[in-house]
Structure 1
Amino acid sequence: MSTFTGKVAVVTGAGSGIGRALALELAGRGAKLALSDVDTAGLDETVRRVEALGAEVKSDFLDVSQRETVLDYAEAVVAHFGKVNQIYNNAGIAYHGDVEKSSFKDIERIVDVDFWGVVNGTKAFLPHIQASGDGHIINISSLFGLLAMPSQSAYNAAKFAVRGFSESLRMEMLIAKAPVKVTVVHPGGIKTAIARNATVAENFDQADVAKFFDSKLAKTTPIDAAKTILKGVEKGKGRVLIGSDAIALDLLQRITGSRYQGLIAAVSKRAMPRSKK
């Protein structure tokens, strides 16, 4: 049985980056696609590209932080295709700021999109994915869901939460012997616009933060990331690491325990953009 051919795959955040790359790779493997994003221009471009590959596509504006909207969206997708086999909870945003300078609103926005967006998508589609008899939930966390970084407390909190939520769900599905696999994905630095679109606290310069990420951290292309994710899906992996940086830093924190925090703090003090006084 094919993992992708003829399967209905939902991809959130499909207007750019990893989401667009997943859509293209899934289309090339014969999947039917339900694509969404808040960036309608980017989403339209993704749709144009996947339709050129012959894929059947449903596209919608969707803010994953809006629970009732996501619940309604799941019903609309099932009404359109008749089933859903896979969901890639990929939509996310970034934020850079120290705890002391971050507002509650800044933190809540990151958690609403990056954590609750995953929960909303999972809860909305889980019954339908179970009903398919051959389902898979793929939740995108981050390298920062494996270890913490300074000035990333909000993002770390959301991505650590995605990891815990996904791993617990995977065990629940195993215990229930449900026909649903669960994979949590931890990308390292990916060459997307996430840093350029990020918000920052008042004591950081957004351009400096974006330049640092793009020049120093973003190493893996979205297409390579998508291919790694789909390879993990084919193998039914519980966890997928993307990029040599994710692999190396995961190993660092497992070997050193909490001592990695001192090492990361020292490197960050020298290399990362300095806060404005």
Structure 2
Amino acid sequence: MTSKTAQTSHQTIAQVVLEVLTYLLYIIVQFAISIVKTLTPYSLRTKKDIEGDVAVITGAGSGIGRLTALRLARLKAKVVVWDVNEEGVEETVKLIKANGGFAKGYKVDLCKREDVYRVAQQTIDEIGEVSILINNAGVVSGKTLLETPDHLIQRTFDVNSISHFWTTKAFLPAMMRKNRGHIVTIASVAGHVGTAKLIDYCASKFAAVGFDESLRLELDSGRYFDIKTSCICPFFIKSTGMFDHANARFIPRLNSNDVADEIVSAILYNRRMVVIPSHLSAAFVLKHVVPWNVYSSLSRFLVPDAHPEENSNKPTLPSFEKSSINKKAIDNNVTIKHRVLGTDVTEEERQP
């Protein structure tokens, strides 16, 4: 080996070592920043201003979607309600307008790609470019794999994950032009851990989690750092019509209002992954380090039946219960102080 070749080799090695040390320093700094952010109370964090932003929420005709829509409207965002349930859309719009917010509703079948693209363009033409997209709509079949009809499996994937591609492709270009926006994926703890009788549901939510992570990486690769994504992964939620009878031990079902609070918090504070309750994140790690028989028995012990037979004859789509507007509460401006966001929430809004 000539002296020139040896010198080149030594320079290459030195460069590689320098790059490795630089990256290790970057990792340490990022860990430090993450720890500081985690320990910083919300009252001291910078909160995003979404006044005037156009926010599309799928499945907002009832349940979590409606509660989230009411909160965003209170923060002065222009809320666009999408749902296949036309009556539910009208009711959500009515509730928002009664509280002084801006709302527009559209009937959309998320199982039909052409319908999604058509209504998306109509939304842009009539209201403006969308800067907040919340892929919230979800369905569950609640049967074992062999008991689940093919069309229900297809519907589960169409609504819970595939529709995210169509909605995001419709609204992302405008966000990219401005390098500003936020895309929220409502997934589930079931998007990280499997559960019996929820094979199609879990698989669709795993896909939703993967969609969010891959989209985030793609945006980072394109240096669109101001387009944020959030993935919300709640446990079973009460009062949505999906898991009202879920049989789970030790882990209580979640309150709909608390989940809606977390969704809005994720937008305002750019939180990437939100697991509710947060301690369940440990289960995601646990399943990779303990023997399968231990994990399997623990999972079956904690959730003996995610969808009991007593609920099998009930509608699997989130049910819509018609509610009236509490005129007195609105007129008297009866409010409850929001514990996380620092905004006022009416008594009527607290009802799922």
Letter in 2 for 1:261: S
Greater CA radius of gyration, 1 or 2? 2
Letter in 1 for 2:132: Q
**Other-structure match for 1:27:** 73
For residues 1-42 of structure 1, the C-alpha deviation after alignment (integer angstroms, 9 at most, x for no partner) is: 843111110011001111001100001101001111111222
**Other-structure match for 2:254:** 220
User: Structure 1 189/25 Cα, relative in aligned 2: closer, same or farther at 3 Å?
Assistant: same
**Other-structure match for 1:201:** none
Structure 1 residues 244-255: aligned runs within 5 Å:
244=277, 247-255=278-286
For residues 48-73 of structure 1, the C-alpha deviation after alignment (integer angstroms, 9 at most, x for no partner) is: 11112222222010111211111111
- How far 1:106 sits from its partner (Å)? 2.2
Give the structure-1-normalised TM-score: 0.85
Percent same amino acid among aligned pairs? 31
- How far 1:100 sits from its partner (Å)? 2.4
For residues 174-230 of structure 1, the C-alpha deviation after alignment (integer angstroms, 9 at most, x for no partner) is: 11111411111111122233327xxxxxxxxxxxxx534699976322222111111
For residues 228-264 of structure 1, the C-alpha deviation after alignment (integer angstroms, 9 at most, x for no partner) is: 111112221221122x2xx333312312425423311
**Other-structure match for 2:175:** 129
- How far 1:170 sits from its partner (Å)? 0.4
SS at match of 2:232: strand
**Other-structure match for 2:232:** 185
Letter in 2 for 1:86: I
Structure 2 unaligned residues grouped into runs of 5+: 1-46, 313-352
SS at match of 2:134: strand
**Other-structure match for 1:199:** none
Using the TM superposition, name which of 219-228 and 87-96 deviates more.
219-228
User: Structure 1 98/40 Cα, relative in aligned 2: closer, same or farther at 3 Å?
Assistant: same
- Counterpart check, 1:95 vs 2:141: yes
- How far 1:266 sits from its partner (Å)? 3.9
Using the TM superposition, name which of 33-42 and 10-19 deviates more.
33-42
SS at match of 1:95: coil
Using the TM superposition, name which of 156-165 and 227-236 deviates more.
227-236
Out of 275, 278, 291, the position equivalent to 1:241 is 275
SS at match of 1:91: coil
**Other-structure match for 1:207:** none
CA RMSD of aligned residues (A): 2.5
The answer to whether the Cα contact below 8 Å between 1:147 and 1:250 also exists between their aligned partners in 2 is no
Out of 92, 113, 118, the position equivalent to 1:46 is 92
**Other-structure match for 2:152:** 106
SS at match of 2:88: helix
Q: State the number of aligned residues.
A: 260
- Counterpart check, 1:273 vs 2:304: no
- Counterpart check, 1:157 vs 2:188: no
SS at match of 1:58: strand
- How far 1:115 sits from its partner (Å)? 1.1
- How far 1:272 sits from its partner (Å)? 6.9
SS at match of 1:166: helix
SS at match of 2:106: strand
The answer to whether the Cα contact below 8 Å between 2:48 and 2:269 also exists between their aligned partners in 1 is no
Give the structure-2-normalised TM-score: 0.68
Distance 1:112 1:64 in 2: 7
Out of 156, 161, 173, the position equivalent to 1:115 is 161
Letter in 2 for 1:263: L
Structure 1 unaligned residues grouped into runs of 5+: 197-209
